[in-house]
Amino acid sequence: MGFGDRRYRDPSGGRFRAASERVFAEGAGPLSWSLWIGRVAGIDVRVHLFFILFIAFQLIQSLLENRAGVGYTAAMLGGLFFVVFLHELGHCFACRWVGGEAHQILMWPLGGLAMVSPPHRWSAALVTTVGGPAVNVLLIPVLGGVVYLLTRSPDLVFFNPFRPDIPWNLAGSWLDVVLIWLHVTNFYMLLFNVLLPMFPLDGGRIVQEILWWRLGYHRSMWIATNLGLILACVLFVYAITSGREFLSGIAIFAGITCWIQRQNLAFMVGDAADGFGSPGWRGTPSGPRPDRAAEQARKAHQAEARHQVEVDRILGKIATQGMGSLTRAEKKTLAAETDRRRGS
């Protein structure tokens, strides 16, 4: 289905649709299958149905023999939820700090998704991205300090990253195990999310935003998504061969996201006029100073290119976060673009 054939305005449904939208997020995609659980600082917090099923299955499995037990499992899942939520909250507050909008956090089995809309500048996007890992950095001394106060063991705080099983062997009480697990999990969440430059993880976004500064938005996205596809394939093979199903899920999600984003970029390349929007376009014409008419034409082309980049960003956001993540301004831009294409 082409761009101009899609319906981006909310169609009128019946009472069933109105009732379902009060429970589920707006939109029909699988990413919108979530429940609203509360609001923090004006930010809606939703839990994906898959995450609820994930928690239920983990609790059921904990009843089996040679498992941690319901108490340990529930405490660990609750702590993991809290750490991931704080990470996403860091993205939201950082986005607001640079003048953007943040209105929703979605918790799901592979982590969390912050529905944010920073200003379309590389610096604002970079600050928004760094806001999440910055929370994990702040949590390291907090959780490590609590673990030390309870256990008085520096080995439980400063563990060997290449042998994360050592803290478990030294743990004692139920509270010690849960807090050590949170400390270790927060540390590895930070390393995995930042050091792996796989889009759309924070590390991949940081790479894209730094390249954006030097190469422009479109070309930086092209490089980041291609790199993300390669790393997603490598991570998937590693996850399958090592029996780590969780990592394989992250690899599949990242690969699909990169592929959809590449399709949107290819659409922009084929649709933009005079080469605008192509991976190599930098937006800086060369040659002698143009006359007034040529200058106006150049500015019009640049404005059109900026508009197409914004539409591309909105389409990528829909692909990864669903229609419900769009702000009012983004929906207005998308509706205007749809009407323009239908008219042409």
What tens digit of pLDDT does each residue of 198-210 get?
Answer: 998 999 999 999 9
- pLDDT of 167 reads 53
pLDDT at 6: 38
In this predicted structure, the answer to whether residue 94 has a pLDDT above a threshold of 90 is yes
Mean pLDDT taken over the chain: 77
What pLDDT, on a 0 to 100 scale, did the predictor assign at position 3?
34
User: 11-29 pLDDT, tens per residue?
Assistant: 445 555 555 555 555 554 5
Cα–Cα dist 61/159, whole Å: 29
Averaged pLDDT for residues 162-187 = 73
Separation of alpha carbons 205 and 116, rounded Å: 14
Q: Measuring CA to CA, which residue among 172, 170, 152, 151 is closest to residue 160? A: 170
Instruction: Classify each residue of 96-123 as buried b or exposed e, where b means 16 or more C-beta atoms within 10 Å of its C-beta.
Output: bebebbbbbbbbbbbbbbbbbbbeebbe
138 — pLDDT class (breaks 50, 70, 90): very high
pLDDT > 90: percent of the chain: 22
Per-residue model confidence as pLDDT tens digits over 44-70:
888 888 888 888 888 888 787 666 677
Q: Is the pLDDT at 101 greater than 60, yes or no?
A: yes
**What's the predicted TM-score (pTM) here?**
0.70
The pLDDT score that the predictor gives to residue 7 is 39
Sign of torsion over alpha carbons 32, 34, 35, 36 = negative
Lookup result for tokens 């001394």: 141
pLDDT of 61: 80
233 band by pLDDT with thresholds 50, 70 and 90: very high
SS3 for 43?
Answer: strand
Contact in structure between 171 and 177 (CB atoms under 8 Å): yes
DSSP-derived secondary structure letter, 25: P
Whether 291 has a pLDDT exceeding 60, the answer reads: no
- Locate all alpha helices (DSSP H) within the chain, ordered by sequence: 15-23, 49-61, 70-97, 122-151, 166-170, 174-195, 202-215, 217-242, 245-271, 292-321, 328-343
Residue 273 pLDDT class (50, 70, 90 cuts): very low
Out of 116-130, 289-303, 309-323, 328-342, the most confident range is: 116-130
Name the most confidently modeled range: 166-170, 298-302, 328-332.
Answer: 328-332
Half-sphere exposure of 323 (CA within 13 A, CB side): 16
pLDDT greater at residue 214 or residue 167: 214
**Backbone region of residue 36 per phi and psi (left: phi > 0; alpha: psi in -120 to 50; beta: other values):** beta
Q: How confident is the model at residue 73 (pLDDT cuts 50, 70, 90)?
A: confident
> What local confidence, expressed as pLDDT, does residue 268 receive?
67
State how far the Cα of 83 lies from the Cα of 89, in Å rounded to an integer: 10
